[in-house]
């Protein structure tokens, strides 16, 4: 795991000036690669690399690395888990070391980059310079685990890098907020897809490559088509066969992902996904797996007790840390530095704290991310399967009338009813249903409303027209089941743009590599072959994954209501975070940016403070943007 950056220029500049610019860009990524730095320049091509040594700790793994034939130079972030298998397919040669970087270069020399990418099992962002063709090629892994930004600056230089902070150090850098991307951020709490918060810059899409010759427009292509895989249809599986096959595939992924020349551990929340990964990893390991969990003071947020019980059953070497409000609140001012594009998933806080905890003991940590998206784990899937098909039978006019009736009642009044019938936060739940579920014209409209924070971000962001996204009607294939359509949308948006960004930045900020076994592309393809009733059965989510886990962990340790990796944001904004938030939301500061409707924001803030509404997510979006803007745009 590392960080890379660089540029391709046609401008005539002295080599010392180019090297100094490259050194500044590369130095910003030291947290991603604390072990060594590499700079490579030739003509107008500059490649920089910071290394976190995980496999082959010797200088033989140093980057940027040139191929044996001398034609290619590579800067690479990630891991190729099947690189030793690839070596057996390549011509016999005297390998300099046992790094996957050297294998990757040899594969490119044999098959070319576009011929190599489909053969790779791993997570990666790649920058490859072809000295013979004078061509720069970029590529990103299938699910988007590793980040890669790129674009052309006003002076004409083409820049790229693992994080935006590297691009900011280029001498031609000019920053202007893309209002279209900002509107998308206010809907999704992240800047999604190929969009970037800065005008003129982009993210390379997962499973895509880009090729560029100086002075020409870049060409892009896709080497793994997830919507096509989803649309290919399901096949019949006997339940026991499906569980067995999932176990085989997960063990195959874990055998590749547990390989490291440094200490390795795993995150363990006690939920289905992380428990399955840790259970299978422990079964493959000769020694106790080192597992890590975070606990919270608030009982309704605390999963540490469940993680401890699973760890004790499996016999892992378990480490946990209870986070105080002070620990979490102290991190908040650092978030714009860690996530140098606006990012407002508040679980970024505990994710970074558990990464800090793990980094004290290990250099690699496996996570259980991906299980919800692959095996129908989110509550919205259950809602679509159980509620929508019945609700849709009611006339739309009647549903909209019911929504108006609910919204006419203050949440506090509905909360009193909820306390009487034993349902917490009933007011906000009913208001959310009235805003997102009852008025929806179809299941995907309901889904879009459920996952949207600000429902009309074009009105919030001044002068903005919301950009295109995968959630636009007609963008994704029309799969027969609403749950499958939602799952595909999550795999194209929420997973790469939120979950994987959160984990990558949170861990790499402390030099910790994370690996995600459930996102091995062979498991993803298998999950799309499964009929829906093997994922969501009799109201229980992730059925096939649960059955695999029950082989090693008793149901009594696992079966409980789903908990998110959350913080008590609503209470913090009314309490210990109030002064910080009030300062960022002060109308003069909002007007100063010239980007947001200050009156609309203030109205939400006052309603939240009064307790009339819980606007924690919408306000967190604005607060994280304001904090980011003040850190990076001044």
List Cβ neighbours of 85 (8 Å cut-off, separation of 6 or more).
none
Distance CA 39, CA 166 (A): 14
Distance CA 182, CA 190 (A): 9
Distance CA 347, CA 365 (A): 18
The answer to whether 490 is a known ligand-binding residue is no
Cis peptide before 161 (omega within 30 of 0): no
* CB contact at 8 A, 145 and 123: yes
Tokens 């393809």 correspond to 525
The answer to whether 100 is a known ligand-binding residue is yes
Distance CA 12, CA 350 (A): 47
* CB contact at 8 A, 232 and 524: no
Distance CA 330, CA 410 (A): 34
Distance between the two ends of the chain, CA-based, in angstroms?
Answer: 31
Query: Is residue 69 annotated as part of the catalytic site, yes or no?
Result: no
The answer to whether 621 is a known ligand-binding residue is no
* CB contact at 8 A, 338 and 352: yes
Q: Say how many C-beta atoms besides its own lie within 10 A of residue 70's C-beta.
A: 10
Q: Provide the CB-side half-sphere exposure for 217 (13 A, CA).
A: 2
Tokens 């009933």 correspond to 426
Tokens 């034609």 correspond to 71
Distance CA 106, CA 112 (A): 9
> Could you say which of 2, 196, 222, 405 is catalytic?
2
Distance CA 187, CA 181 (A): 10
Task: Write the DSSP string, 578-630.
Answer: HHHHHHHT-HHHHHHHTSB-HHHHHHHHHHHHHTS---HHHHHHHHHHHHHHH
Binding region: 100, 294, 367-368
Q: Which residues are catalytic?
A: 2
**Binding site per annotation, positions for L-glutamine:** 100
Q: What are the binding residues for ATP?
A: 294, 367-368
């Amino acid at each position: 795991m590392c960080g890379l950056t660089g540029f391709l220029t046609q401008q005539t500049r002295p080599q010392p000036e180019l090297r100094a610019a490259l050194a500044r860009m590369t130095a910003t990524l030291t947290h991603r690669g604390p072990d060594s730095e590499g700079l490579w320049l030739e003509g107008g091509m500059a490649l920089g690399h910071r290394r976190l040594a995980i496999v082959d700790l010797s200088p033989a793994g140093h980057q940027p690395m040139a191929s044996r034939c001398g034609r290619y130079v590579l800067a690479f972030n990630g891991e190729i888990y099947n690189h030793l298998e690839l070596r057996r397919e390549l011509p016999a040669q005297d390998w300099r070391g046992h790094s996957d970087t050297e294998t990757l270069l040899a594969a490119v020399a044999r098959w070319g980059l576009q011929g190599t990418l489909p053969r790779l099992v791993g997570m990666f962002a790649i920058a490859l310079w072809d000295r013979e063709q004078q061509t720069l090629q970029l590529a990103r892994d299938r699910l988007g685990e590793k980040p890669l930004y790129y674009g052309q600056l006003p002076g004409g230089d083409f820049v790229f890098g693992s994080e935006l902070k590297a691009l900011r150090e280029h001498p031609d850098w000019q920053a202007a907020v893309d209002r279209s991307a900002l509107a998308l951020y206010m809907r999704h709490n992240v800047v999604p897809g190929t969009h970037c918060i800065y005008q003129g810059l982009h993210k390379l899409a997962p499973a895509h490559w880009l090729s560029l010759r100086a002075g020409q427009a870049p060409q892009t292509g896709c080497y793994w088509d997830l919507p096509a895989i989803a649309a290919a249809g399901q096949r019949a599986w006997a339940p026991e066969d499906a569980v067995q096959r999932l176990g085989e595939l997960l063990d195959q992924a874990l055998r590749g992902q547990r390989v490291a020349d440094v200490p390795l551990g795993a995150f363990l929340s006690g939920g289905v996904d992380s428990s399955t990964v840790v259970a299978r990893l422990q079964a493959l390991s000769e020694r106790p797996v080192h597992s890590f969990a975070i606990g919270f003071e608030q009982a309704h947020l605390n999963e540490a007790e469940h993680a401890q019980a699973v760890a004790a059953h499996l016999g892992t070497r378990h480490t946990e840390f209870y986070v105080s409000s002070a620990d979490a609140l102290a991190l908040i001012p650092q978030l714009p530095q860690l996530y140098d594009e606006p990012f407002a998933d508040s679980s970024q806080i505990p994710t970074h704290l558990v990464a800090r905890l793990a980094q004290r003991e290990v250099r690699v940590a496996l996570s259980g991310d991906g299980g919800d998206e692959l095996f129908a784990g989110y509550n919205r899937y259950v809602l679509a399967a159980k509620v929508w098909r019945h609700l849709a039978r009611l006339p739309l006019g009647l549903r909209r009338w019911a929504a108006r009736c609910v919204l006419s009642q203050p949440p506090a009044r509905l909360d009193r009813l909820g306390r009487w019938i034993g349902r917490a936060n009933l007011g906000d739940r009913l208001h959310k249903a009235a805003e997102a579920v009852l008025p929806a014209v179809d299941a995907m409209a309901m889904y879009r409303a459920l996952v949207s924070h600000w429902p009309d971000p074009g009105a919030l962001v001044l002068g903005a027209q919301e950009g295109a996204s995968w959630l636009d009607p007609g963008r994704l294939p029309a799969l027969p089941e609403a749950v499958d359509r939602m799952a595909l949308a999550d795999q194209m948006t929420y997973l790469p743009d939120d979950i994987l960004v959160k984990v990558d930045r949170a861990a790499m900020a402390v030099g910790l590599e994370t690996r995600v076994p459930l996102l091995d592309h062979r498991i993803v393809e298998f999950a799309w072959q499964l009929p829906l009733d093997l994922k969501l059965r009799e109201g229980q989510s992730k059925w096939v994954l649960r059955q695999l886990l029950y082989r090693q962990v008793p149901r009594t340790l696992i079966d409980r209501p789903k908990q998110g990796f959350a913080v008590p944001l609503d209470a913090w904004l009314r309490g210990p975070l109030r002064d910080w938030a009030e300062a960022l939301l002060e109308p003069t500061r909002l007007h100063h940016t010239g980007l947001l409707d200050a009156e609309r924001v203030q109205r939400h803030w006052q309603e939240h403070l009064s307790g009339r509404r819980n606007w924690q997510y919408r306000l967190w979006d604005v607060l994280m943007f304001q904090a980011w803007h003040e850190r990076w745009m001044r």
